[in-house]
Amino acid sequence: MLVLSRRADESIVIQPADGTDTKMTLAELFANGPIQITLLGGTGKRVKMGIDAPVQLAIRRKDE
């Protein structure tokens, strides 16, 4: 599980991981299961979330 903290108006990006075949279908990307996001808590304007996703997907903070 990847744990990230985000503030209001901040984002995460979920995309195919580096090295993943770009011709994979959605069914192939999710063959090992869905993305599961669990809210773990929050304080003020910050929320902590845990993300479980197939290894074919990369989850990153969107930094602007």
Cα separation, 61 vs 44, in Å, equals: 19
Q: Could you tell me the end-to-end alpha-carbon distance of the chain, in angstroms, rounded to an integer?
A: 24
Assigned domain for 64 exists: no
Cα separation, 38 vs 22, in Å, equals: 28
**In contact, 57 and 9? CB cutoff 8 Å:** no
CATH number of the structural domain spanning residue 30: 2.60.40
Using pLDDT thresholds of 50, 70 and 90, give the confidence band for residue 64. low
Residue 8 pLDDT greater than 90, yes or no: no
Phi-psi region of 30 (alpha: psi -120 to 50; beta: other; left: phi over 0): alpha
Domain, as residue range, for 33: 2-59
Assigned domain for 17 exists: yes
Total domains present in the chain: 1
The predicted model scores a pTM of 0.76
Assigned domain for 32 exists: yes
Per-residue pLDDT tens over the stretch 12-31: 999 999 999 989 999 998 98
Cα separation, 1 vs 61, in Å, equals: 15
